[in-house]
Amino acid sequence: MPKTVIFDLDGVITDTARFHFLAWKRLANKIGLDIDDAFNEKLKGVDRMNSLELILAQGTKKYSEQEKLAMADEKNEDYKVLIEEMTAKDLLPGAHSTLTSLRKMGIKLALASASKNAATILNKLGISDLFDYVVDSNQVKHGKPAPDIFLLAAKQLGSSPSECIGVEDAVVGVQAIKSAGMYAVGVGDPKVLTQADMVIPDLTGFPVGEAFSATFNKVLA
Ligand code: B16
Ligand code: MG
């Protein structure tokens, strides 16, 4: 019987990708580079410094570690201004009802986000209280696709990986869930999230109530 559901934040519960894009594009333009929507897809689920490395790899100039940290800080300051206006209206379809239904069923809920701004965003969305545990990339050594972030969430909630369901929109995120030995629910396009055990278009399609047991009891411990 599944005990715990571990959610990704960006792309599953809210859409911060557009704010990350605007802030990264501004930084890229400042150093003579550019990024487009297609490139932004590659940054989904990738932590801040690794996102910066992917952007810098678009050019040839080499930067010191100190310069890179300054660039990442500058992007984050722009990003923080952009997310300032977020409210409960920015919850993606089905997010609030799925979280509240699962809580009512006694399922433990965790958040596993690569974003160091995750706790701030949960507060802005007004859903911090719905989670039993929140992990961000500050707390783990290796980011997604490594399993660390999902394994830490499971451990903190006293669940074994085989009792956990992970929910992710990014390819690297689904890889992290599968490496952790958990059941992966992909949110998005099944042609993209090929390693997921099941794919739904958004959280309105997440099975709750009797559908939860019917879907997961036979595939989880
Ligand atoms: P920050 P998730 C990820 O969030 C985003 O998908 C990714 O684009 C971003 O670079 C990363 O968080 C780090 O965010 O700069 O705020 O620490 O999908 O894992 O919830
Ligand atoms: Mg995501």
Percent of all residues in the chain with a pLDDT value above 70, rounded to a whole number: 100
CA of 112 from ligand 1 middle (Å) equals 10
Q: Which one-letter amino acid corresponds to residue 83?
A: I
CA of 13 from ligand 2 middle (Å) equals 9
Name which residue leads in pLDDT, 1 or 21.
Answer: 21
Q: Is 148 a catalytic residue?
A: no
Name the average pLDDT for the chain.
95
pLDDT for residue 31: 96
pLDDT for residue 221: 60
Judged against a pLDDT cut of 90, whether residue 203 lies above it is answered with: yes
Q: List domains and CATH numbers for the chain.
A: 4-15+88-216 (3.40.50.1000), 17-85 (1.10.150.240)
**Opening angle at CA 133, ends 204 and 149, nearest 5:** 85
Interval 144-167: pLDDT, tens: 999 999 999 999 999 999 999 999
Ligand nearest to the CA of 17: 1
Q: Is the peptide bond before 2 cis (omega within 30 degrees of 0)?
A: no
Q: Which one-letter amino acid corresponds to residue 67?
A: E
9 lines ligand 1 (CB under 6 A): yes
Contacts of residue 151, defined as CB under 8 A and 6 or more positions apart, other chains included, come to 161, 180
Judged against a pLDDT cut of 90, whether residue 136 lies above it is answered with: no
pTM of the entire predicted model: 0.93
pLDDT for residue 125: 98
Interval 81-128: pLDDT, tens: 999 999 999 999 999 999 999 999 999 999 999 999 999 999 999 999
Judged against a pLDDT cut of 80, whether residue 220 lies above it is answered with: no
